[in-house]
Amino acid sequence: VQHAMAYAATLESVKAAAAIIKPYAKVTPVLTSATLDALAGRSLHFKCEIFQKGGAFKFRGACNAVFSLPEQSANKGVVTHSSGNHAGALALAAQMRGVPAYIVVPWGAPRIKLAAIQTYGGLITQCEPNVPAREQAAAKIQAETGATLIPPYNYGPVMSGQGTISLELLDQVPHLDAIVVPVSGGGMISGITVAAKGINPNIKVVAAEPVGVGGHGADVAASKAAGHLVDCPQPDTMADGLRAKLGDLTWPVVRDLVDEVITVEEPEIVAAMRLCYERMKLVVEPSGAVGLAAVLSPQFNANSKLKTCRNVGIVLCGGNLDLDALFKSLTR
């Protein structure tokens, strides 16, 4: 394990973020379900980031990033490229600070996420749904406006903001043996991990990752297994918030400090979502249910390192999904 100072986020930077976002972000509740405990054969503690402002954990990182900018920079605005939750979160944080937010969104992003960006006053530019196109469009806006680029995950202040989930969760449930975190770009898991291990070095942190249709999209699992970043095709998954790739700032934390990666398939995500709705009465988007899917998977139960984890925290990271189909089906 490398010395923690090498990382873009540390326990100290996460504590500083907690102080910055305190006036704006919500302390989200931890909920439990006896039914799900029985299914999992362990005690599950659900950190409900679905109740965070903007409907997802992303507000924490965006808020820390926006409010830690010096005034001169902030006044020129912020820019990002994102498929949804980070974009909405950044627009909201910028609106709270009274500065413009320029948002590059790929074509085909969920309508509900576009609507959220507009509600929060974000200025939308649409582009082709691939990373180079997104980066190009954002760079153009930066050049024209002088806005500060706030990346969705591969950025210290964002990682530190997401890490505040750990501070709250370990305050709410100090006896956790493990925390399970959905992963793609790694902003949330890297912040959570440096903070959680800083507080309790023995706690296990587990990444939950969709493999997608065809089963080839799990780049975190592949990279962990290889010991270096492995390029995988983008996962074809309903978890639209989990299609990014690890960055050069998030990967070192995942490489050195994350204990295990559990991969899940599409039907497992649907089953976990359904349990959240039916048993816990919680609206969770597919990406948000991936942690529960991992804990209920045979892989998790067969893992010798995780067998002894009795008390498990699961981050329900977001609840922004298009419910049109549901309500249409109810309309006579």
Q: What is the pLDDT along the chain (332 residues), one digit of tens a residue?
A: 555 458 999 999 999 999 999 999 999 999 999 999 999 999 999 999 999 999 999 999 999 999 999 999 999 999 998 767 899 999 999 999 999 999 998 888 878 778 889 999 999 999 998 878 989 999 999 999 999 999 999 999 999 999 999 999 999 999 999 999 999 999 999 999 999 999 999 999 999 999 989 888 788 999 999 999 998 888 889 998 888 889 999 999 999 999 999 999 999 999 999 999 999 999 999 999 999 999 999 999 999 999 999 999 999 999 988 888 888 899 87
Catalytic residues: 58, 83
d(CA 64, CA 22): 10
Q: Are 240 and 84 in contact (CB under 8 A)?
A: yes
Quote the pTM value: 0.94
Greatest pairwise CA separation for the chain in angstroms: 61
Do strands 148-149 and 78-81 pair parallel, antiparallel, or not at all (unpaired)? parallel
Closest CA to 305 of 255, 265, 262: 262
Q: Are 41 and 301 in contact (CB under 8 A)?
A: yes
Do strands 78-81 and 123-127 pair parallel, antiparallel, or not at all (unpaired)? unpaired
Contacts of 301-310 with C-beta under 8 Å, sequence gap 24+, read 301/41, 303/260, 303/262, 305/204, 305/259, 305/260, 306/178, 306/204, 306/206, 306/260, 308/177, 309/42, 309/177, 309/178, 309/204, 310/42, 310/43, 310/177
Q: What angle do CA 244, 247, 251 make, to 5 degrees?
A: 115
d(CA 64, CA 122): 18
Residue with tokens 């530190």: 160
Token couple for 149:
């680029």
Residue with tokens 């806005």: 147
d(CA 140, CA 289): 35
